[in-house]
A and B are shown apart, each in its own frame.
Chain A
Amino acid sequence: MINVQNLLFTYSGNAEPTLQGLDFTIAKGEIFGFLGPSGAGKSTTIKILIGILKNYQGQVTVLNRELRRINADYYESIGVAFEFPNLYSKFTALENLRFFSKLYKGPTTNPLDLLTMVGLETDQNTRIAEFSKGMKMRLNFCRSLLNNPDLLFLDEPTSGQDPVNLRKIKDIILEQKSKGTTVCITTHDMHVADSLCDRVAFIVDGKIALVDSPRALKLQHGSRMVRVEYRDKGSLKNKDYSLDSLATNQDFQNLLSSFPVETIHTQEATLEDIFIKTTGRKLQ
């Protein structure tokens, strides 16, 4: 779907390249996450992939076409939602979506269905000027889905959403995946990356530090231990056991039978830990 080789990019006026040779491939139907602190090159990468920044070096093939040779028809088959969205503030949600849907040649999704999916159906006739930031972001998310894209680019799709709407957006992204849509996400929210992405790439200082699936990373970087929290005469205590011989571990069995157990957790690493460990940086 997307094949990037040795991608270099320098903004005019900058001495240092913002992207210093990226390599990655994204398969069809995959949800791929770009993780990294702001300024690391996430947005620049996305801007290149959506064909806005053209004078890059290296090979970028998207939908079997070299990106330098694409024209505006490329946008028939992709959907993009930016982090700071805005639509025409004096138009209603529905008017905005209708206008944008008429810019596409191919079949488009009914704007009302999209609004219903993100819980904005009761606000369809409200002007955007009266929308909250979260509502605007959800509307903008709808806009990116209008043309049934083969490829979806989402920049921080979940920031500023309450848990209910966060759930809705995640579900829609997963539903898109099940329809065969390829999704590229940038985020600095590790939980979102963990629960959505098939694979994640850590980007720091214009380089990819690591690419793998969240599950593989967590297992690989974690310790194979389980931690038991229990009550001993009113005070909270904990004890760690190796996962490997847990079934025959007598000490573990004794603890379970003699104390009230409160929690049991395996000690795989969080994405946040791995990020800090591999890049030496914090995410925020």
Chain B
Amino acid sequence: MRLLNAIHIDITFQFRHGFYYVYLFISVLYLLILFNLQQGIRETITLLLLFIDTTMLGFFFIGAIVLLEKGQNILQSLFVTPLRLSEYIIAKVISLSILAMASALIIVTPIHLSIINFPVLLFGLWLSVIFFTLFGLIIAARSQNVNDYFAKALGLGLVASLPLAQYLHIFSTPLFYVLPTRATLILLEAAVKPTGLLHIIYAFICLLVWNSLAAFLAYRYFYRHVLVGTGAL
């Protein structure tokens, strides 16, 4: 009940700040462009867009959302109610992932005939969105303002994007397998081309491990640096 209410207010908040309009517009624009691409390159570009736009959606927005709530003292009001910090974090993650998944469903329509494993695509994307939102929360907890968040997010985002080099056949190293983004790319590729079950299982386990770690750190950092520290009170 409390959680549902928190998710509801987050979605309404995102709606009123224009997220849904912007994403509808951008997704439709992508759709038009993708429809005009040749088969073959279309799949590559679609998966690329899903990777850099959909999975990083939460990463892009969560910093500004948290810093706004902190700056406007909304967090003060929230955390003197029975709302748990865990519920606050889950609501943020779920609300943003709903938007991301809705956008993803629009973007994949031009390649729907090429998709051989839809559940893997959806579940893989969803886990990745969750990871990046939690990752953003961790950074936001340590950031002073939006530009500060950008600087940190840009650096860490670039490191996270390194496995793209393997996706684009530029460079590969077994080290990439440690990164959650390598797992994301494996699952995205598994959606359109046959992939060994072992690879898929590895990717899911990798994302689950990273998500657990990120959830733990997000909770801890938020508690320490936002709630108790200078932030909320």
Contact = CB atoms under 8 A, between A and B. Distances in A.
Contacts of B1: 102
Nearest to A78: B80
Contacts of A143: 77
A72 B83 contact: yes
B145 interface: no
Contacts of A56: none
B114 to A, nearest CB: 40
Interface string B216-233: 000000000001100011
B169 interface: no
Nearest to A146: B81
Interface stretch (B11-19, B128-136, B153-161, B189-197): B11-19
Nearest to B83: A103
Task: Classify chain B: how many residues form its interface, as a range.
Answer: 20 to 34
A86 B74 CA distance: 5
A90 B17 contact: yes
Given A72-B84, A86-B74, A99-B9, A52 B79 contact: yes
A259 interface: no
A24 interface: no
A52 B226 CA distance: 11
A102 B87 CA distance: 14
A91 interface: yes
B83 A85 contact: no
Contacts of B233: 43, 47, 52-53, 82
Contacts of B12: 91
B76 interface: yes
Contacts of B6: 103
Size class of the contact patch on chain A: 20 to 34
A80 interface: yes
A31 interface: no
Contacts of B228: 52-54
Contact of A102 (B2, B73, B227): B2
Contacts of A140: 77
A50 interface: yes
Contacts of A147: 81
B81 A103 contact: yes
B38 interface: no
B90 to A, nearest CB: 14
A99 B5 contact: yes
A75 B2 CA distance: 13
A33 B80 CA distance: 20
Nearest to A143: B77
B74 A87 contact: yes
Nearest to B74: A86
B72 interface: yes
Given A52-B227, A103-B2, A85 B77 contact: yes
A80 B82 contact: no
A102 B7 CA distance: 12
Contacts of A102: 1-2, 5
A73 B81 CA distance: 8
B73 A82 contact: yes
A121 to B, nearest CB: 21
A74 to B, nearest CB: 8
A75 B82 contact: yes
Interface string B186-224: 000000000000000000000000000000000000000
A49 to B, nearest CB: 11
A87 B119 CA distance: 39
Contacts of B82: 72-73, 75-76, 103-105
A75 B78 CA distance: 10
B5 A90 contact: no
Nearest to B17: A90
A105 B5 CA distance: 12
Interface in A75-100: 75-76, 78, 80, 82, 84-91, 99-100
Contacts of B83: 72, 75, 103
A78 B80 CA distance: 8
Contacts of A53: 228, 233
A54 B12 CA distance: 33
Interface in B132-179: none
A86 B81 contact: no
Given A82-B233, A85-B77, A91-B13, 9 more contacts: A43-B233, A50-B80, A52-B233, A54-B228, A78-B80, A82-B76, A86-B77, A90-B17, A91-B16
Which 6 A-B pairs rank lowest in CB-CB distance, beginning with the nearest?
A: A80-B80, A102-B5, A86-B73, A86-B72, A90-B16, A103-B81
